[in-house]
Amino acid sequence: MFVNRTLLGFARPAWPSLTLTVLAGAAASGAGIGVAFSLAATVSTVLGARQTTADITTPLLLTAGFTVARAGFLWLRDQSATTTAITVKRRIRLELMEKVFRLGPRRPGRRGAGEIRASVVDGVEGVQAYVGFYLPHLVVTLLVPVTLVGIVAVRSLPVALVIAAGVATVPLAQRLWSRLLGERAHVHWDAFARYAAKLTDSVRGITTLASLGAAGRRATALAVEAERLREATNANLRSSLGVSVVTGAAMSIGTAGATVLAAFEAAAGRLAVGDVVLVLFLAVECFRPLQELQNYWHEGFHGVAAAKGIQEIRDAEPVVADTGRLVPSEPIRAPRITFDDVTYRHPGSDRDALSAVSFSVPGGATLAVVGRSGAGKSTLVQLLTRDVDPSAGRVLLDDTDLVAYPLAVTRALAARVSQDIVLLDGTIRQNVMAARPTATEAEFTDAVQRARVDEFAGDSPDGYDAAVGEGGTLLSGGQRQRVALARALLADSPVLVLDEATSALDAENEAVITDAVHDDRGRRTTVIVAHRLSTVVDADYVLVLDEGRVAEFGPPALLAAANGHWAALLAAHSSGLDEALTR
């Protein structure tokens, strides 16, 4: 018998249904005791010297009544237990998903999306047996055997002691096995979570694996993980079988020993013949809750093992602390963006990703951020969107430090379109409207037309209600980018961030994004991170980063005349050497 504090905490709000489950289980056991007494009375009547039909009919009717009542109470118990489990699982999943969203894109630790999915879906599912059935039945198991041993002791103390010894053996054996079972259950869960994570990654990357001819190698690696999972499962089952043998033997020996001893007591005249039958039925009823608890105990271990992963998510601290309390009194429009001596170092790194970066871009302007790979461009974007906070310095919109705002406010201030587009399984409309569910149809239409989504949505009979597939697989790369741009435009955030959004696009789709940015000029402040200079040549300001520091900043025309980094990049571009930016 064991109680997991984490799962017990989740179960507390469901106490009404938990209480009903306990009462229904206790009532079912009470009906079972009634069956035992009425059957014993029937046997005593049949074995009596004189009996009439009426004498036998009454205990038989009582037996039938108690049997029907027991079935009804068991049905009520299971319904209530299922309700409890559903309530608790819903609560856990809601809390976990809220926590995952609060953690944001930069989750601490090394738990990937596949492992989180395993905890939220399969792990929470494993909690059902523990919370819905094990916990309430534990209360019943503590009450019923003690009560029945007391009833038997009134008739024969030696017989009661035999039953008590068998009853005590069951939790003792479970206690001795609990550590081994717990360890193997955790090993089993870890193996399952790893396998689920790798399987999820493999399905997501099946196109890449096939194009590289690596599908066979990946399948072999998955087979190795599957074998580890099989071995962990078998080890867990062997442990469960061991404790089942011991506890099953204790129950059988206890029942048989009590019955045989009761027979000797009857032969010696210390018990009535009918009491021997009563002892047999009461012993069975005494061990029944223990047998049922045994089954829930094994299933419950999977829930306890999964609780480890659940608790890790609950205990995880976000990379960015949500301590801001300032809520803008009126909508922010096209703010000035200022980096004030900003330094940032990634956890575990021995060098700064950005070092003493300072610049200011007027509201409504377009800033182009360029530089070689590793120069710090993506880190700058992460700071602007508050995926991370500076190690030193400040990031300001107008004159307000971003950390002064709640995270929800900060992240609503910037809409981002990146190279790696994430579309959710659903329709074009659902993916675009996710940015602002309260948008009107006219606003939706304006956004999709400006992003030229209408050009390909019109080819489908479903129009904007056409499915995009999981991850947008039913759309081409350019179409996914257009949907993402429409989503960002509909968000109507005061800052628009294009993080290498055109790096993998053809000229036509690149022009779509460039035109949309030009059309919005002045309505919002735009930050464009790009390798292709064709995307940023019309920017109002250019920020050139080099090894995490500001190499140049200013209007592009002035920088071109200065014969520095920007001039060199323009020269490379005019020579058709855009790829020099990525060296």
User: Which DSSP letter does residue 120 get?
Assistant: I
Q: What percent of the chain has pLDDT over 90?
A: 25
Give the tens place of pLDDT for each residue, 43-89: 777 776 556 677 788 888 898 999 999 999 999 999 999 988 888 88
The CA distance from 122 to 184, in Å, is 18
pLDDT in tens, 371-415: 888 899 989 999 999 989 999 999 999 989 999 999 889 888 999
pLDDT of 215 over the 90 cut = no
What value does the mean pLDDT of the chain take?
A: 84
Q: Which domains does the chain have, with CATH numbers?
A: 5-315 (1.20.1560.10), 333-413+523-575 (3.40.50.300)
Give the model's pLDDT for residue 336: 94
* Spatial CB neighbours of 574, under 8 Å, sequence gap ≥ 6: none
CA angle 564-569-570, nearest 5°?
Answer: 100
Q: Which amino acid is at 54?
A: A
Residue 9: φ, ψ to 5°: -60, -40
Region 27-46 average pLDDT = 86
Distance CA 93, CA 78 (A): 22
**How many other CB atoms are there within 10 angstroms of residue 60's CB atom?**
14
Average pLDDT (434-456) is 91
List of residues 6+ apart from 530 with CB closer than 8 A = 368, 369, 370, 498, 500, 501, 502, 503, 536
Nearest to 531 by CA among 472, 577, 477, 462: 577
Angle between helices 15-47 and 53-103 (to 10 degrees): 160
Q: How far apart are CA 295 and CA 240, in angstroms?
A: 10
Q: By CB neighbour count within 10 A (0-12 exposed, 13-18 middle, 19+ buried), where does 441 fall?
A: exposed
Whole-number Å distance between alpha carbons of 164 and 183: 30
Distance of alpha carbon 351 from its chain centroid, rounded?
A: 34
DSSP designation for 351: S
Rounded mean pLDDT, 542-560: 92
3-state secondary structure at position 355: strand
Helix (H) or strand (E) holding 548: none
Main-chain phi, psi angles of 460, to 5 degrees: -100, 140
Task: Find tokens 């949309």 and name the residue.
Answer: 516
Higher-pLDDT residue of 433 and 237 is 433
- What is the reported pLDDT for 301? 67
Q: Which helix (H) or strand (E) holds 108?
A: none
Dihedrals φ, ψ of 330, to 5°?
Answer: -145, 160
Give Cα separations from 404 to 329, 394, 457, 495 (angstroms). Answer: 14, 11, 41, 17
User: Comparing 189-193, 205-209, 224-228, 450-454, which segment has the lowest mean pLDDT?
Assistant: 205-209
pLDDT digits (tens, 9 = 90+) for 96-153: 888 888 777 665 555 667 777 777 887 788 788 888 888 888 889 888 888 989 988 9
pLDDT digits (tens, 9 = 90+) for 503-543: 656 667 677 777 777 777 778 899 999 877 777 778 899 99
A 10 A CB-CB count for 230 gives 12
- The DSSP code sequence of 140-156 is HHHHHHHHHHHHHHHH-
Tens digit of each residue's pLDDT (9 = 90 or more) over 292-326? 887 787 677 667 777 777 888 888 887 888 888 89
Q: Out of 174-188, 193-207, 389-403, 415-429, which region has the weakest mean confidence (pLDDT)?
A: 174-188
- Model confidence at 544: pLDDT above 90: yes
What is 392-455 written as a DSSP string? EEEEEETTEEGGGS-HHHHHHSEEEEESS----SSBHHHHHHTT-TT--HHHHHHHHHHTTTHH
Would you state the pLDDT for residue 583? 45
Tokens of 7: 């799962």
What is the per-residue DSSP string for 171-215?
HHHHHHHHHHHHHHHHHHHHHHHHHHHHHHHHHHTHHHHHHTT-H
